[in-house]
Amino acid sequence: MSVRDVEDSLGLKVCKKQALVIDRGAGVWVWDVSGEKFLDFTAGWGVTCLGHSHPLILSAIQEQSARIIQNPNSGFTYSPARAELMIELQKVLPAGLSRMFFANSGAEANDAALKLARKITGRSKVVSLMGSFHGRTLATLSVSGGPQNGARYLPRVPGQEFSPYNNCDDLDLVIDNTVAAVIVELIQGEGGVRRLDLAFVKHLRSLCDRHECLLIIDEVQTGFCRTGRFFASEYYDVAPDMLTMGKGIAGGLPFAALVMTEKLASAVELGDHGGTYCGNPLSCAVAAQVTRFLRKHNVAAHVAALGDVALNDLRQLKAAYPDVVKDVRGLGLMLAIELHHDSQVWPLSDECQRAGLLVTPTRNAVVRLLPSLLLTKEEWSAGLERLNHALAAFVAGCERNTPALVCGQN
């Protein structure tokens, strides 16, 4: 069955940006409906951290779904699966973050963090960083990217202010006693896999302490071993007041969480937050198994070691294709290939697809690689070979047909 067949049968138009209809997956591989095989270096935006159809996840889904999927009066009744997950999370969370609120997505977790921060502090202003991404709800879009982002959705959510990335001097100007919270990604994902400086984060923590505002660290993409530590905040030795997580937490199921200190949670009252599916037993059961697996198998160490190999290999590709690749960077298996121009991103992504490799096109002229955390050296080598082939084909296409701008010549 082709994409056109699917379109005709559904009576709709399928997006032509990488028009694939994926039928199944196993590990780091996926197959489309025609049987063509692809190496998946997207992990569904970093979600399928153990790969596709991992036996542990399938077993947890089967076992829990045979018991109960959704509790009666969810939010007022609880489950053993929820308790098990809370116990597992306590083993890996940064010290002091003891109270948990579950959600369906990272955007919902961030939305809840912003809402509760305003309620707890009695203040309205929120500061975030230029180039950030915290979700697609109205509140989280308003603290993502820059002030122009939320302007597309009227009326704008008031009380947002942006500060440049890694600029301590500007932080001094925007953080004051009117700020409820500052929300940051320690490594910006959609912003191009850009890492915050240690000195910047330390200064941010001191400013939040001085002005008694809350520091919210968004680990939706960086958490659960993606960067070579269980949480990226471990690299900084800075304690957040709130931490949000999602994506890899349940290995592919829609699930997320917000955690905070006991002191902050004491100001959250009945009715301040909730949700129909928050903490449902099925997702909790899977998340508990994923968390335990990552911890017991020390997956973070594997990711850190393979990430070093991968980054070194990408540097060699940069040297081989200087007219296409401007920079490479990353931490663990959160990797970025920065091109010379945004117009190169989709053509190169298409060449990767033709070579049998799926990558993640990103803003700021970046192609991201977010493979399964269980990726082997052999699988990485196979992906690198496909990436090299795609870059060579892209350059050849530029030389034949493409305007100079797309070839990186300004």
pLDDT digits (tens, 9 = 90+) for 98-138: 999 999 999 999 999 999 999 999 999 999 999 999 999 98
Catalytic site residue from 40, 111, 218, 313: 218
Closest CA to 334 of 376, 294, 365, 306: 306
pLDDT 10s digits, 219-236 = 999 999 999 999 999 999
Whole-angstrom distance, CA of residue 373 vs CA of residue 48: 9
Which is catalytic among the residues 125, 162, 247, 313?
A: 247
How do the domains of the chain map onto residue ranges? 1-41, 55-296
Is 247 designated active site?
yes
Indicate if the alpha-carbon torsion angle 131, 137, 143, 147 is positive or negative.
Answer: positive
Mean pLDDT, the chain, whole residue set = 92
Q: How far apart are alpha carbons 371 and 390 in whole angstroms? A: 17
What average pLDDT does this structure show over 266-272? 90
The 10s digit of each residue's pLDDT in 237-258 is: 999 999 999 999 999 999 999 9
Pick the CATH number of 55-296 from 3.40.640.10, 1.10.150.20, 3.30.70.1230, 3.40.50.740: 3.40.640.10
Residue 159 — left, alpha, or beta (φ > 0 → left; ψ -120 to 50 → alpha)?
left
Sign of CA dihedral 195, 199, 204, 209: positive
Count of residues in the chain = 410
Give the residue from 36, 43, 42 showing the smallest Cα distance to 20.
36
> Quick check: 149 pLDDT over 80?
no
Beginning with the edge strand found earlier in the chain, give each strand of the sheet holding 125-129 in spatial order.
Answer: 97-103, 256-261, 242-245, 214-218, 179-184, 125-129, 160-163
Out of 102, 133, 224, 231, pick the active-site residue: 133
The alpha-carbon radius of gyration of the chain (Å, integer) is 22
pTM: predicted TM-score of the whole model, two decimal places: 0.92
Do 326 and 338 form a contact (C-beta atoms < 8 A)?
Answer: yes
CA distance 314 to 387: 10
Question: What beta strand segments (E) does 165-251 contain?
Answer: 179-184, 187-188, 194-195, 214-218, 242-245
> Does the annotation mark 133 as catalytic?
yes
- Which strands form 357-358's sheet, in the order they lie side by side? 22-26, 29-32, 37-40, 357-358
The arithmetic mean of pLDDT across residues 59-77, rounded, is 93
Confidence of residue 6 (pLDDT cuts 50, 70, 90): very low
3-state secondary structure at position 6: helix
